[in-house]
Structure 1
C-alpha cells in the first residue's frame, strides 16, 4: 500500500478463532477509509495461502498479509514483530471475536484529524452473548471518560482501541509476563502521559464468553505482574501488594476478578490479616454474639 497506508489493523489469530471471517467482514463494510487500511493477521503456522485469498475476498481488500508465528516465539513478541512490519501511522489491535461498526473508520479518522491532541481513541461497544446458557447478557456498554484511577484498577477501555504509532514508539509494546497484554499496553501508555479520547457511541462489538476456571485461578498473578511492570503508575501500597502476592505472603490476596486493589483495599487486606493473626477477630465475633443474646433477652 506504500504511502496510502494510514491504518494498520493487527489481528491476533494465534488460536485459530472461528470468528475471524466475521471480523474481516465487518472491516469490508466500512463506509469510508477501506482504501487506507492494511490488515496483518498473526497466525500460528496452521494457515494456508488459500486462507489468505479467502480472507482478502471477505475483507474486500488485497492489502492483507499473514504473519506466521515461529513455534518458539512468545505471543507478545510475535505481535511486536507484526507491528514492526506494519506501515500505518494509526494502529488498531483486533481479536477475531471483535466487530467494527460501519462508521468506525470514518469516526476514528475524523477524531485523529480534528483532535491532534488525541493519541488513543476508544469507543463504547456492544457486548454479545455467544449463547443463552453462557451466563452473559447482551447489551450496550457505555464506557466512562478516561480516568487514571479507573485504569489503575480495571481494564475498562473495551475492544477496538486505536492509537497513533508515536504512542507505540514510546512504550515497550506487548509483554509476555502477563496475559493481560492489552491492559498492560494501556497502562504503559497512560504512564507516559498519553491523551485518551472517548467516543460516546458504540463503534464496536465483541463476544463475552464465560470465564474459564484456569483464567480465574491465574488472575492474581497476572494482575500483580501488570503492576510490577509499570510500578510508577500505581500507588505504593498497590505495588507492595503486587510484590507480596508474587512472593506468596499470606496477607496478599488475589482480590476481585480482573480488579486490582487500590491503596485503601490493600490497607484493609493487611488490617484484616493482622486482626486474624492476633485473634482479635474471634473476640469481636464473640462480643457481637453476646450483644445479640442480651438484646433478645431485653
Structure 2
C-alpha cells in the first residue's frame, strides 16, 4: 500500500529563484517529506525555473513530477492542473515564495485525520511585505463570516474529495481561493482553523494579492454568482446589479461582500 499521504502542488510561473528555499522548507517538515509527493504545475516559465527544479527533484519525497503548461497567466488553471495530477488522500497548493514552518503540514494532516467531517484545515499566518511582518489571526469557521470575507489562509490542506466534488479553482474571479473554500462549505465539507501560526505568506509586486483589488467588485460579485446557494437573495441581487453596471450597486469595501442589511442601505440611497 502506498505510503504517500500528501500531494504538495506547487503552481509556478517564473518563481525559480524561490525553489531552493522552498525545497529547504519542505525538507524540514516534521511529517516527513518521504510521505509527500511533489507536483510542480508550471505555467510556461521563461526564467531559470526548469533548472531550479533539481532542488525539489533531489528531495527524498514519495514522488516528483512536473506538469508543463502553455502560459496563460491564469493561476486557477495552473492549480487545477496540478491537483488533477495528485494522487494522495490530502493535497495542498503551495506558492513557491511562501514559507511554511516545520510543523505546518503535520498539524493540518493531524486535524483532518482526527476530524473526519473536516474537509479543509488551515492555520493563522504571517503576512510579509517589504520587510513588514504582520500576524493574520483568523477567526474560527462560520458560514456567515466566510460569506463576507475570506477567513482562511492562502494554503489550506484539503481532502482529495473536496477537490473532486468541486468545480475546481474558478478562473472568473481573482478571489479563486475564497471561492474554492465556499464550494467546500456548500458541499458540506467542514473547514477548521488550527489555532497556531505555521505559515508565512509573502507579498510583493508579482503577487495576484496586490492586483486583485483593482478588480475587487467584479471579483466578489462573481464569487456570489458562482455560489448562489451560499448567499442571501439580496446579496445575489447586488452581485447581479454590479455585474450589469447598475449605479446603485456599490462595490463595497475591498475584500468584503456586503450582507443583506448593507445591500438594503445601498438601495435606499
Question: 1:158 and 1:190, CA in 2 relative to 1: closer, same or farther beyond 3 A?
Answer: same
Q: Secondary structure at the match of 2:122?
A: strand
Q: Is the 8 A contact 1:220 1:255 kept in 2?
A: yes
Structure 2 residues not aligned, in runs of 5+ = none
Higher share in strand: 2
Give the structure 2 partner of residue 87 of structure 1. 87
Q: Is the 8 A contact 2:94 2:155 kept in 1?
A: yes
TM-score (norm 1): 0.81
Give the structure 2 partner of residue 277 of structure 1. none
Q: Is the 8 A contact 2:147 2:257 kept in 1?
A: yes
Q: Could you tell which deviates more after superposition, 8-17 or 212-221?
A: 212-221
- Residues 227-247 of structure 1: per-residue CA shift (max 9 Å, x gap): 101111011111101000000
Q: Is the 8 A contact 1:17 1:97 kept in 2?
A: no
Considering only CA atoms, is the larger Rg found in Structure 1 or Structure 2? Answer: 1
Q: Is the 8 A contact 1:120 1:161 kept in 2?
A: yes
Structure 1 residues not aligned, in runs of 5+ = 132-136, 273-298
Are 2:254 and 1:257 aligned?
A: yes
Give the structure 1 partner of residue 15 of structure 2. 16
- Residues 25-50 of structure 1: per-residue CA shift (max 9 Å, x gap): 21111123311101111112236653
Q: Secondary structure at the match of 2:235?
A: helix
Q: Secondary structure at the match of 1:188?
A: helix
Q: Secondary structure at the match of 2:148?
A: coil
Are 2:269 and 1:268 aligned?
A: no
Question: 1:48 and 1:27, CA in 2 relative to 1: closer, same or farther beyond 3 A?
Answer: closer
Cα shift at 1:73: 8.8
TM-score (norm 2): 0.89
Q: Could you tell which deviates more after superposition, 41-50 or 108-117?
A: 41-50
Q: Secondary structure at the match of 1:215?
A: helix
Cα shift at 1:88: 0.9
Q: Is the 8 A contact 2:9 2:93 kept in 1?
A: yes
Structure 1 CA distance for aligned equivalents of residues 243 and 53 of structure 2: 42
Q: Is the 8 A contact 2:28 2:102 kept in 1?
A: yes
Q: Is the 8 A contact 1:98 1:159 kept in 2?
A: no
